[in-house]
């Protein structure tokens, strides 16, 4: 191959290389980088081809970017959607599984603890009733005093509100358990 023919072949190969990879030589395959280093430095036409490819890369890099206002509005939309999904997907699925398990284990354990927790106030109320009943019965003022005693113990309103199945002590403890749930969550 004559020098002239080789030069033509090199230029054609360089043109193809520049069309594929652009002027940034770090993007070229290593073998091509080596091959064309001397070609570009020795052949002015090759050097000119590289300059044209560089100019095209500069133009491509000048392509416009989205406006700040458009990006900010999109950010707000993304955050609004993400926060809407938070209780359903992220709080259960995306949290570490160990902590989710422990929360649910504690939540399951709470109802079992509740009956034992309400035993002592109920027993105290019953004991007080017994003592007062004996005293008031012996004094002959049972009916009137019984009503006052029920108000003091809070049983009357609880009975009225809950058809006599739940006493006020249980309701108070129920609130406490609910607040524990809220803390856990």
Partner 1 sequence: MGAGASEDAALVAAAAKGDADAFRTLVDRHLSSVLAVARRMLRDDAEAEDVAQETLLRLWRSADGLDVGAMGLRPWLRRVVSNLCVDRMRSGKRLTVVEELPERAEAATQHTSLEAQDASRRVDVALKALPDRQRTALTLFHYQGLSQVEVGQIMGISDEAVESLLARARRSLKAALREELQELLSDTPPE
Binding site for partner 1 (CB under 8 A): 16, 18-22, 27, 47, 51-53, 55-60, 62-66, 70-71, 74-75, 77-79, 81-83, 85-86, 89-91, 93-96
Nearer to partner 1, 47 or 141 (CB): 47
- How many residues in the chain? 185
Nearer to partner 1, 53 or 158 (CB): 53
Rg of the chain on CA atoms, in Å: 42
Nearer to partner 1, 74 or 124 (CB): 74
Residue 35 beta carbon to partner 1: minimum distance, rounded to whole angstroms:
17
Residue 131 beta carbon to partner 1: minimum distance, rounded to whole angstroms:
54
DSSP H helices in the chain: 3-21, 30-42, 44-61, 68-85, 97-117, 119-139, 142-153, 155-162, 168-184
Q: Which residue reads 């524990």 in tokens?
A: 180
The phi, psi pair for 62, rounded to 5°, reads: -90, 0
Residue 56 beta carbon to partner 1: minimum distance, rounded to whole angstroms:
6
């Amino acid at each position: 191959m004559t020098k002239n023919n080789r030069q033509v072949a090199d230029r054609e190969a360089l043109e193809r290389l520049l069309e594929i990879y652009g002027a940034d030589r770090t993007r070229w395959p290593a073998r091509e980088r080596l091959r064309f280093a001397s070609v570009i430095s020795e052949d002015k036409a090759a050097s000119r081809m590289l300059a044209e490819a560089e100019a095209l890369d500069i133009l491509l890099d000048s392509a416009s970017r989205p406006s700040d206002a458009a990006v900010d509005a999109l950010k707000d939309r993304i955050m609004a959607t993400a926060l809407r999904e938070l209780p359903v997907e992220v709080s259960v699925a995306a949290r570490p599984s160990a902590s989710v398990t422990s929360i649910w284990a504690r939540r399951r354990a709470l109802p079992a603890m509740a009956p034992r927790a309400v035993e002592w106030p109920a027993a105290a109320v019953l004991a007080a009733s017994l003592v007062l009943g004996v005293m008031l019965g012996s004094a002959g003022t049972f009916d009137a005093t019984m009503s006052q005693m029920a108000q003091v113990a809070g049983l009357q309103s609880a009975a009225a509100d809950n058809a006599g199945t739940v006493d006020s002590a249980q309701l108070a403890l129920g609130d406490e358990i609910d607040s524990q749930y809220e803390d856990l969550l």
